[in-house]
Amino acid sequence: MSASTVPVPEPGPRPPRLELSGLPFAATALDRDAVDREARDVRRLAAQDPETLVLVLAGGLAPVAGDALVLVPAVDLPPVPEDPRRPEVYLGRLPDAGSSPAPRVLLRTVPAAGGAAGEPGPLPDAVAAAARTGEGLRWAGLRELGPVLAAGETALLVTAQSVGLWHLDHPRCPRCGGPTEVIRSGWARQCPHDRSLHFPRTDPAIIVAVTDGHPDPARERLLLGRSAQWQANRFSTLAGFVEPGESLEHAVVREVAEESGLVVDDVEYLGSQPWPFPRSLMLGCRAVARSGAVVPDGQEILELRWFTRAELIDAARTGSVTLPGRVSIAHALIEHWLGTSLPETAW
SS3 state at 132 = coil
- Identify whether 189 is part of a domain: no
Looking at the structure, tell me whether residues 65 and 123 fall in a common domain: yes
Looking at the structure, tell me whether residues 15 and 66 fall in a common domain: no
- Identify whether 60 is part of a domain: yes
- Identify whether 185 is part of a domain: no
Q: What is the number of structural domains in the chain?
A: 2
- Identify whether 29 is part of a domain: no
Q: What pTM value is reported for the model?
A: 0.89
CATH code, domain with 129: 3.90.79
Looking at the structure, tell me whether residues 14 and 84 fall in a common domain: no
- Each residue's pLDDT tens digit, 167-182: 999 999 999 999 999 9
pLDDT at position 6 is 56
Looking at the structure, tell me whether residues 210 and 330 fall in a common domain: yes
pLDDT at position 119 is 47
Residue 307, beta-bridge partner list:
222
pLDDT at position 28 is 87
From first CA to last CA, the distance across the chain in angstroms is: 23
- Identify whether 83 is part of a domain: yes
Looking at the structure, tell me whether residues 312 and 258 fall in a common domain: yes
pLDDT at position 75 is 86
pLDDT at position 99 is 77
Looking at the structure, tell me whether residues 51 and 139 fall in a common domain: yes
Looking at the structure, tell me whether residues 317 and 237 fall in a common domain: yes
Looking at the structure, tell me whether residues 316 and 210 fall in a common domain: yes
- Identify whether 187 is part of a domain: no
pLDDT at position 60 is 87
Kindly state the average pLDDT of the residues 247-262.
97
Looking at the structure, tell me whether residues 112 and 14 fall in a common domain: no
- Identify whether 50 is part of a domain: yes
Whether residue 97 is predicted with pLDDT greater than 80 in this model: the reply is no
In a 10 Å sphere around its CB, with 0-12 CB exposed, 13-18 middle and 19+ buried, how is residue 233 labelled? middle
Looking at the structure, tell me whether residues 7 and 130 fall in a common domain: no
Q: Which of 122, 144, 168 is the last residue of a domain?
A: 168
**Cα distances (Å, whole numbers) of residue 87 to 68, 107, 108, 163:** 24, 8, 7, 10
Looking at the structure, tell me whether residues 130 and 222 fall in a common domain: no
Lowest mean per-residue pLDDT among 111-120, 228-237, 248-257: 111-120
- Each residue's pLDDT tens digit, 38-53: 989 999 888 888 999 9
Looking at the structure, tell me whether residues 47 and 83 fall in a common domain: yes
pLDDT at position 310 is 95
- Identify whether 93 is part of a domain: yes
Kindly state the average pLDDT of the residues 63-68.
89
- Each residue's pLDDT tens digit, 110-134: 887 544 444 444 555 667 666 555 5
> CA 279, CA 165: separation in Å to the nearest integer?
8
What residues make up the domain containing 215? Answer: 3-24+202-338
Q: Which of 121, 144, 168 is the last residue of a domain?
A: 168
